[in-house]
């Protein structure tokens, strides 16, 4: 199977929208009247959840008149958050059909029709015209993409000159192999971690200037410690990103925390500017 088909297969767990609705009900929320905030435990599929998205967004200037692209938008949590926080329009693009369908259904459920749109497609061959967007986001996607130069070239192509590109990626922080499975891959065959230097080289070659880089290791470890404490105190909650991770969810999270704790990987922010 080609890499992209394998990646989409990895993220497809089946019946996702129905399982999210059932988990909302189990949480005491009627899906008919659910708000965007009610979805936060499940719809931000990256380390740190909505706090991480908010921290990233605070570093770029997004105005209500802007059209923002969310590359690898998953089930759309970051797209909806950015649209709500800034009043802008967001288009989310993702490889996994079940995620795109779920993102659309969730958006409709919480009243986002129109201002946030989702479509299926690859970050390496985006179905958009040159200079289409005023800003872009990339949250925890590049680790499934082997060709970082092509990813950066495509992002640069669809962004207008002067646009911000806010990146929040799991990156390699030493040369040791990591433990699998992890949330983005069951084996090394679909995991393509790169270093900050490799992201920087690809971004600069594509025509971006690096404005800021921030390693979020401590933030990540605090986030997982807090999650652990909540689990220990109250047991698992029905609604969470575990719904997106299939049968091996517990070992995936355990390995990711161990990989970060041991210094092999870390989530890293990069704020880029299209020249």
Q: How far is the CB of 67 from ligand SAM (least distance, A)?
A: 18
95 binds ligand SAM (CB under 6 A): yes
Q: Return the residue of 48, 74, 107, 267 that touches ligand SAM, per CB under 6 A.
A: 74
Q: Which of 16, 56, 78, 272 binds ligand SAM (CB under 6 A)?
A: 78
Length of the chain: 275
Identity of the residue, 66 or 103, whose beta carbon is nearer to ligand SAM in the bound complex: 103
Please, which residue, 162 or 184, has the CB nearer to ligand SAM?
A: 184
d(CA 27, CA 60): 34
The CB-of-76 to ligand SAM minimum distance in angstroms stands at 8
Identify the residue whose tokens are 């210094």: 263
Residue 68: CB partners within 8 Å, gap ≥ 6? Answer: 62, 79, 82, 83, 86, 88, 89, 90, 91, 133, 134, 135, 136, 137
We find the least distance from the C-beta atom of residue 167 to ligand SAM, in angstroms, to be 11
Count of residues that bind ligand SAM according to CB under 6 A? 25
Q: Which is nearer to ligand SAM, 32 or 70 (CB)?
A: 70
Residues 42-61, mask of contacts with ligand SAM (x by CB under 6 A): --xxx---------------
CA dist., res. 174 & res. 177, Å (int): 9
The number of CA neighbours under 13 Å toward the Cβ of 159 is: 30
Q: What are phi and psi of 197, to 5 degrees?
A: -65, -40
**Nearest distance, CB of residue 8 and ligand SAM, angstroms:** 6
Q: Which of 36, 77, 107, 267 binds ligand SAM (CB under 6 A)?
A: 77
Note whether 102 binds ligand SAM by CB under 6 A: no
Per-residue tokens: 227 = 């999650």
- The footprint of ligand SAM on residues 122-151 (CB under 6 A) is 122-124, 139-141, 144-145
Q: Quote the tokens at residue 270.
A: 């990069």
Burial of 90 (0-12, 13-18, 19+ CB in 10 A): buried
Q: Where are the alpha helices (DSSP H) in 64-144?
A: 77-86, 97-109
Question: 43 or 134, CB closer to ligand SAM?
Answer: 43
- Tokens 């965007």 locate to 36
Q: Which residues would be at the binding site for ligand SAM (CB under 6 A)?
A: 4, 7, 11, 44-46, 72-74, 77-78, 93-96, 99, 122-124, 139-141, 144-145, 184
């Amino acid at each position: 199977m080609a890499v992209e088909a394998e990646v989409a297969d990895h993220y497809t767990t089946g019946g996702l929208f129905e399982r999210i609705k059932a988990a909302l009900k189990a949480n005491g929320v009627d899906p008919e009247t659910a708000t965007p905030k009610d979805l936060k435990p499940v719809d931000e599929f990256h380390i740190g959840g909505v706090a991480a998205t908010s921290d990233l967004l605070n570093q770029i200037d997004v105005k209500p008149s802007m059209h923002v692209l969310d590359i690898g938008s998953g089930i759309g949590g970051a797209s909806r958050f950015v649209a709500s926080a800034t009043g802008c329009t967001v288009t989310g693009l993702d490889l996994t059909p079940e995620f795109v369908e779920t993102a659309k259904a969730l958006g409709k459920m919480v009243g986002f029709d129109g201002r946030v749109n989702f479509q299926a497609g690859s970050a390496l061959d985006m179905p958009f015209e040159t200079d289409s967007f005023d800003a872009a986001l990339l949250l925890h996607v590049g680790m499934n993409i082997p060709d970082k130069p092509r990813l950066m070239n495509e992002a640069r192509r669809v962004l207008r000159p002067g646009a911000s590109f806010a990146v929040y990626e799991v990156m390699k922080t030493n040369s040791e192999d990591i433990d699998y499975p992890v949330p983005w891959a069951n084996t090394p065959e679909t995991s393509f971690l790169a270093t900050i230097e490799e992201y920087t080289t690809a971004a600069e070659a594509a025509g971006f200037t690096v404005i800021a880089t921030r390693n979020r290791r401590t933030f990540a470890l605090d986030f997982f410690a807090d999650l652990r404490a909540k689990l220990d105190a109250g047991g698992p909650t029905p609604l969470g990103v575990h719904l997106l991770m299939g049968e091996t969810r517990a070992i995936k999270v355990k390995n990711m925390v161990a990989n970060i704790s041991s210094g092999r990987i870390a989530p890293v922010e990069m704020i880029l500017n299209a020249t």
